């Protein structure tokens, strides 16, 4: 295995190249052949001195089983990661995304959900959500209501809500003036993805 070197990754990297790196990294991860990443003091010093140029922004769930750097076999400085339970987006998460794509120049934004998502299950199952957990549930609930109208039930309902929640979050992000400007000027590409806990594979969703 050869070591992955993305230290020159910046806005000069195309979205297609960035997506290719994610796909190739995930294939290595699934195959149990992840290449070593540079976690050395010299790499940390380089990033401190020269700044960060992540080639992709990843919005995903806070679930401890869904670590993007491992899933995509990437190292320090490669990904700008925003993690929120249920991979939902509020003003703070959106601001973080905008910073990654506008200020840091990342050409690719991946919104990644996963199967067996606890936030989705809690929303589908209903009941009272304590404390600020309710804020997460409220963001997923409109998607649950829409999917229920299709007649989906049981495990199919959970899986469909997971998929549709990814698309709903993307639509919310696309409404941002900063995001809209970057996508219209071909400076940003947005993709959806879903991580499968059993296989470790990420499947990408057409938007």
pLDDT at residue number 7: 47
Report yes or no on 52 lying in a domain: yes
Going by their DSSP bridges, the two strands 189-195 and 202-205 should be labelled as antiparallel
Report yes or no on 132 lying in a domain: no
pLDDT at residue number 3: 41
Report yes or no on 7 lying in a domain: no
Instruction: Report the side by side order of strands in the sheet with 79-83.
Output: 79-83, 56-60, 108-114, 189-195, 202-205
Report yes or no on 137 lying in a domain: no
pLDDT at residue number 205: 87
Q: Residue 43 is part of a domain; what is its CATH number? A: 3.40.1050.10
From the DSSP assignment, how many helices (H) and strands (E) are in the chain?
8, 5
pLDDT at residue number 26: 98
Report yes or no on 130 lying in a domain: no
Structurally, how many domains does the chain consist of? Answer: 1
Phi, psi angle pair for 98, to nearest 5°: -60, -40
Report yes or no on 84 lying in a domain: yes
Q: Tell me the mean pLDDT per 10 residues along the chain, length 207.
A: 43 90 98 94 95 97 98 97 98 98 97 98 92 96 96 95 98 98 97 98 89
Range of the domain at 80: 15-115+177-205
């Amino acid at each position: 295995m050869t070591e992955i070197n993305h230290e020159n990754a910046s806005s000069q990297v195309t979205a297609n190249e960035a997506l290719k790196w994610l796909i190739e990294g995930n294939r290595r991860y699934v195959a149990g052949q992840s290449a070593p990443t540079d976690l050395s003091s010299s790499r940390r010093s380089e990033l401190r001195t020269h700044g960060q140029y992540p080639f992709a922004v990843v919005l995903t769930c806070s679930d401890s089983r869904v670590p993007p750097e491992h899933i995509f076999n990437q190292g320090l400085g490669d990904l700008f990661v925003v993690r929120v339970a249920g991979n939902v987006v509020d003003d703070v998460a959106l601001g973080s995304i905008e910073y990654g794509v506008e200020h840091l120049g990342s050409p690719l934004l991946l919104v990644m959900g996963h199967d067996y998502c606890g936030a989705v299950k809690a929303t589908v199952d209903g009941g009272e959500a304590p404390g600020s957990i309710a804020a997460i549930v409220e963001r997923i609930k409109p998607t649950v209501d829409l999917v229920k109208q299709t007649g989906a039930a049981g495990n199919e309902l959970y899986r469909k809500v997971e998929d549709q929640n990814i698309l709903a979050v993307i639509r919310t992000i696309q409404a941002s003036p900063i995001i809209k400007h970057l996508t219209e000027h071909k400076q940003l590409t947005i993709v959806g993805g879903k991580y499968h806990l059993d296989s470790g594979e990420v499947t990408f969703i057409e938007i």
